[in-house]
Homo-oligomer: A and B are copies of this chain.
Amino acid sequence: MARNNDTWILTAQCPSQLGTVDVVTGFLKQQRCYITEQHSFDDKLAKQFFIRTEFQPQASDFNILDFQEVFTARAAEFGMTFNLSEKGYRMPVVIMVSKTDHCLNDLLYRYRAGKLSIEIKAVVSNHPDLEPLVRWHDLPYYHFPITKETKAQQEAQVLQVIEETGAELVILARYMQVLSSEMAHTLSGRAINIHHSLLPGFKGAKPYHQAYQKGVKLVGATAHYINDDLDEGPIITQKVEVVSHANYPDDLVDLGRDIERQTLAHAISCHVERRIFLYGQKTIVFSR
């Protein structure tokens, strides 16, 4: 396990106190690990500390399991929770879609170009439309139709795919169904949705039409973790585009496509590189 150029990512958080940085970096020094990238943030209002470190072990006999065991004890003294993962790990994901394909197409492109560190295990949809696109990428496509009566059953099917594939992240790439509270709760912290407005403005259905009625001069997109309160999960990233009176609702929909797909891809990239910390209803995001 001590190949040269292995890079590990350590993320951790704990209550603010003296020595929070040192508990990580002092240990890395002792373990002869070279830090290649590091971000930390001490939230002075919430009194909570967050750190993300990329490091390369220098010792020829480095062993990540030993490292983890020793660090567990050290972290416990600070009430610190942490995660260790190898850089470049391709996180298994399931993508959920309906009929709209601009986000899916974008994710598939980035995936096959090697620009997202994910392994797409399956694409699940309540419609059959996007199957050819997915099949061309040699990926499994599950069509689980949904009606008011079959919602519970359909969600069970989806969850089964998620579990059987070992997906660690679920991506709602313009999935046009509201998840049940149960499902939202089950996927809490590991499902990212793209909402086509600048939340908290224009929640719910047809946000571009709402934006048009209001006469706003900017439209936006928001990537957020889902929770059981619709369109209210912790925000990860947001983007905007300038619009004018000359843009009808259909134009806003068209304009929105570019910002939606970029916003979603950026959020996924941050998640799989473990750049995001969830804390309460908010996120800490250590962008590069």
Which A residues fall within an 8 A CB radius of B?
A: 17-22, 25-26, 28-29, 32-45, 58, 101-102, 105-106, 109, 113, 115, 136, 198-202, 214-218, 220, 234-240, 244-248, 251, 254, 257-258, 262, 281-285, 287-288
Distance, CA A167 to CA B163, complexed state (A): 50
Known: A102-B109, A238-B216, A244-B285. A21 touches B25 (CB 8 A): yes
Measured between beta carbons, the chain B residues less than 8 angstroms from A26 are: 22, 25-26, 29
Q: Which residues of chain B have C-beta atoms less than 8 A from A202's C-beta?
A: 200
Residue of B nearest to A220 (CB): B218
B residues less than 8 Å from A281 (CB atoms): 214-215
State the CA gap A18–B36 with chains docked (Å).
10
| A109 contact set on B, CB distance < 8 A | 102, 105-106, 109
Q: Closest residue of chain B to A45, judged by CB?
A: B248
Cβ-defined contact, B36 with A29, below 8 A: no
In the bound complex, residues from chain B placing their C-beta under 8 Å from that of A257 are 115
A278 to B19: give the CA distance in the assembly, Å: 29
A258/B248 in contact, CB under 8 A: no
Cα A258 to Cα B265 in complex, Å, equals 11
A244 to B244: give the CA distance in the assembly, Å.
16
- Known contacts being A215-B234, A237-B217, is A29 close to B18, with CB within 8 Å? yes
- Contacting residues, chain B, for A218 (C-beta < 8 A): 198, 220, 238-240
If A25-B21, A201-B201, A251-B288 touch, does A41 touch B215 (CB 8 Å cutoff)? no
CA distance A244 to B43 in the complex (A): 12
Identity of the chain B residue whose Cβ is nearest the Cβ of A21 in the assembled complex:
B25
Task: Please measure, in the bound complex, the distance between the C-alpha atom of A199 and the C-alpha atom of B258, giving whole angstroms.
Answer: 22
Q: Which residue from chain B places its CB closest to the CB of A211 in the assembled complex?
A: B200
> Could you give 18 example pairs across A and B, Cβ below 8 Å?
A18-B29, A18-B33, A18-B34, A18-B58, A21-B35, A21-B38, A22-B25, A37-B42, A38-B40, A43-B245, A115-B254, A115-B257, A198-B218, A199-B214, A216-B238, A217-B236, A240-B240, A251-B288
Contact partners of A37 in chain B: CB under 8 A: 41-42, 246
Interface residue from B35, B39, B44 paired with A36 (Cβ < 8 Å): B44
Q: Is A238 a contact partner of B220 (Cβ separation < 8 A)?
A: no
